[in-house]
Structures are given as C-alpha cells and as structure tokens.
Structure 1
C-alpha cells in the first residue's frame, strides 16, 4: 500500500499551521496528536454564536456571522469525531436549537443555507444568498418529491444523531422526507425510480445522504437505505481522475470519507486508487491546491489561502483514516 511519506506529511502539517485558522490547527491536533474530543469541542465552541449557529468555518465567503452553511461544516467535524459529544454538551444543545428554529415544516426542509449579509462581502456566486421565498407545499407527496438534500440533509443527520433533543413528532417529520425520497426515487426497484438522478450524476445529494443514513438509529431503515445507496454509487463519482487536476470534480475518495463509510465496501478499489491519485496532487509546499482561482482581488486571495489550508487538512485527516500516512521518520 502506497502511503504519504513522512516528509510530505510534515510539509502539509507545516503548511496548515502557517496558513490556516484555529479550527484547522485544532483538527490536526485531534487527528494526529491526542484524539481529545473535549479539547476539539472547546476549539469549535469559539466559532459558535449566541444563537447557536456557527460562523467563520466556510472559506468561500468572508462573512463571519452565524449561518446554516457554516453550521453544516461544524456538523461535518462532529460526525468525524470517533467519540461523539454527549447530548448534554452545551455546544450540541445550542446547535440543535439553532437548527430546529430554522426548519420549515411547510416544505419539510430547511431554507437558504446562506444569509443576506453574505452578499455584503466577498463571496463566490454559487454560495451567495439567493433570497428564495419559502412557499408552503400543502401536499406531503409533493414535499417528498421536491426534497432537496444538497446542503440540507446534513441537518437531518444531526437531528437523527441527537434525536433525544428533538420532540418525537418533529423528529419523525424531519426524517420522513429524506427517508421517503431515497426509498421512492433512488431505488431502482421502486415504481417511482428517477433514472435522471443517476444520469445527471451530481455528487452532493449522494454524499449528504450518506451522512444522514449513518446517523439513523433505526437500523432496519438504515440498512434498507444503505442498500439503495450502494446500487449505483459510481454514477456520482468522476472516474477520469485527470479531470481533477484543474476542475472541481468528486473522485471516489472524495465521496467516501473513511473505511467505515456505509458505501465503501462496494467501491473499495476505486476509493483506494483515487486516494493514490490525490496523494500525487500535493504541491511542493505541502498543500493540496484547489486547482482553480476562487476570484480576483485581495479578499479572494485570503479565502483561497484559507480554503487550500482547510483542503490540505481534510486530505491529511482522510489519509489518516485510511491508514495512508507513513508517520515514521527515515
């Protein structure tokens, strides 16, 4: 098994500590020094605002206040902790309050992950605040049919993980829509199967649904949904690895976050091969570059540096989970 050399690991570490922020440094310490959940949660808490939402964790806009988009990033950190914080942890409780307050039962989902203030600063157009009105959907079947998992199923995942903090009726309402959406439209044996989802191949729903399914406490439902997600996973993965050199595409290893991932067993060889390709994309200075500019000007330059440092930390964490780092000095 090819591993990232110790020398390249040190280069990446040094790049992270020189160019990233406190949360990425804390994430490095958690992954490679102490696995101290409490210490990492203390670091994460500094990004939580009084309303329970998070800010400053997303590097494609410079808005630092609370929003669902940064809160999504916080959820991603928590899901990757080996030992999850308890339901009594104040960060978790305040986070749940923030998330539930922004749920719209009239559509069975959350609204825009950004807030209007995002558009007042430096931002990429694909993460801007769009200002779309929440239009109630009266029919439940229609709400299921219009369910949007992208950037939103992660909140349902958090609700499932910490279901003890959610009133039962509200909990059932929240998880119903992603569960039914997968059962109806992703299962090739369903009369409602939507082949166009797989023809399109957009990876985001597939990846967020993995978050959600892995957090469900009902194991019978989780197993059924896992089997569906495993039917055609490569439809959402770029198998021409060279395209990732200068374009934003998701290789198999980008869609699978660890060997414990629910889909990993059916794409193991592809994940392992693409990890090797990603390793070769490391720059001489230790970072994993985005491969494209976020934009022009000083504001975008700062975001680019933070984003590439975060991407580098994400690669190190993933390589560590897959046992692909040589930690022995030569």
Structure 2
C-alpha cells in the first residue's frame, strides 16, 4: 500500500514538473498552455483508463524522457532585450596581484524603478584585500534571504557581488518561473551604495551585514573564483535556477574549495537561517549571542540616515562586529 502511494506521488510530481516545463518554455506563447494542459490531461487519463498500468507507465516514461531532454536542450543566451540595470555584463582582467574590473555598476537611484545606470572600471591590488562580508537580505518569508558578498580593501573601497536573475524588459521575478529556465544568471559587480542602498533605502527590505572570519588566502581565492565565473558568464551564459543555481548555493561553491570548514547544510537551501549556520561554524564573531550579534548587524537605520553619502560603506559598518 505504501509503495503504491509513493508510486502515485512520484508520477504526480513528474506530470506536474513536465507540465510546468512545457508551460514555461520557449514554445510560442499561444501553444504553451494548450500543450501543457494536453500533457497533464493525457498523462492522468492514461493512468486512470488504461488497465495495463505497466504499459501506461512505460509510455508516460518515454514521453517524459523526451520532454526532459528537450527542456534540457533549451539554451541560455546573452542576446536579449535586457533591463538597463543588467544589460552590461562585468568582466575582469587578472595580472598577478592586480585585478581590473570592467563595468562596475554604480546606479543613481531616485526610486526603485526610476534610476540612471552608470558603470566604471577600477583596479584593485589583491595584496591589499583586508575583509570579506556577507549581506543577508530579507524581503518576505524569514525562511528565504538574498545573499551578497563584499570584499574590502585597505584604501577603504568595497567590491560587492550579487548573484541575480538577468531579467528582460518587462519581466518580473517569480519563484515558480525561477525553476524553469525563465531567467539567465548574472553576477552584478557594484558599489555597496548601489546594491545595498537599493535594498535598504528603496525596496525597504531588511538587511544584515555580517563580518566574516576568513584568512587572507581564503579571501583572495574566493574573490578570484567570483571573477572567474564573471568572465565565464560573458562567454558561456547560464540559466538561473531557484534551487540549484542562485545566490547561496553558488556562494558556498565559491568558498568551499578554499575553506576546510565548508560543508553542505539544509540552511543553505532555507537560507534565511544561514546566519545560524555561519555562527555555529565559527565564521561569525561569537563574542555575543547570535541574537545580539544580529541586532548589531541590522543596518537599515544607518543606511537610510546615510543616504547617498560617499562614505556609505564606512558608515553602515559603524558598530557592526
């Protein structure tokens, strides 16, 4: 009985996934809902009406494999009608300790949707890399957060990375669409006055800044790994995936090879709790209980008071351990 229920559950999940994959695909818009409905109705109908269940399941399995292979073959692209804030991809030139970042974003916001996009190039000396920080951004459920990494240098500059969906003009983010090849992946490289201030001052999301304990070697290797992916995405676009290819799993992927404490944890999926994981692993300061550390790490008040001041990054770190 239990195996029978489990089998029906697996088949139902397969039908739902394949139907959604067809609905959110590169087929013509008028065809997608019809094709998805026909697949779902045909699949469940076959399971119910065909008495030879082995035949029905075998036939469904063959069709499912065809749908899966077709869906996997849908290619990502760097050539679309992109929103202005993600239209220009960054890149990096690496020469020993000297790294030049091209197309660092520095958007001038008047509101969340009214802004002027600006970019610039800048060089950084990896020998002067002094810190790495993690931003946790909550916009709804406490289970889920957006994570950003920021690298600080001796001259007071910070280089911030946000792994995001690269949306076309008119697109909005959907958690469901995020599983079905609706967005390309992009690494936004920007000033904190851009990436952080957008979330604190204009979207009014809850943002926490955590200073990370990491060796110079780990910081350097992690930054170089980010930049290698930045360069790769210019040549080989990738699909964003809300489960497997987004901000937090990729963050772990960048740091784990260089960090002996790096390991998988369920809180890397329910990443709203990733601060607890980092605290337990000793990545965060443990001189205070986590609840007190988190209060000191909440930067919205300071960020709103600071506005677009040129020393935004310095001010939001005041009092943060």
Which of the five TM-score ranges fits, normalised by the shorter chain?
under 0.3
Q: TM-score, normalised on structure 1?
A: 0.24
Higher strand share: 2
Highest relative contact order (Cα 8 Å, sep 6+), 1 or 2? Answer: 1
Higher helix share: 1
Q: TM-score, normalised on structure 2?
A: 0.25
